[in-house]
Amino acid sequence: MKNATILHQANEFVKKGNYEDFLAHCTPDTKWVFVGERILDGKDKVRDYMKEFYVEPPVFTVETTIEEGNLVTVTGEITLKAPNGIYHHYNYCDIWRFENGKIAELKAFVIEKENLDK
């Protein structure tokens, strides 16, 4: 199975709030880098991040997917609900690195769009 297909199938679990099923697609030492914001080392840190920031399952759309070797680049939009109930809207560019069919690393460039709830 191609890495892009694996990623999109794994992300379907995120859309449904099934974060453990998503994490099953990650290596134990997966590393997520949110450029300019934070670095998550290991599956447990990613799990903690999801519990904190995915108050509700995120709503995201994929605009572009490019696969080259063990890398998959995806661009799109994502909406997250904050604990205070306000929705935040972002554009993203994610670069995913795979090892043996599992997500080993994410480098995410995320830019918040003007708040549409105002």
In a domain, 118, yes or no: no
Which token pair is 57? 């399952």
In a domain, 105, yes or no: yes
The Cα–Cα gap between 36 and 107 comes to 11
What burial letters (b/e) apply to 37-70, b meaning 16+ CB within 10 Å?
eeebeebeebbeebeeeeeebbebebeebebeee
Q: Which residues contact 18 (CB under 8 A, 6 or more apart)?
A: none
In a domain, 50, yes or no: yes
CATH number at 75 reads 3.10.450.50
Does the pTM exceed 0.75?
yes
In a domain, 14, yes or no: yes
In a domain, 117, yes or no: no
Question: For residue range 54-90, what is the model confidence (pLDDT) as tens digits?
Answer: 989 999 999 999 999 999 999 999 999 988 999 999 9
Which token pair is 79? 């909406």
Domain holding 103, by residue range, is 3-112
Res 29 pLDDT > 60: yes
In a domain, 61, yes or no: yes
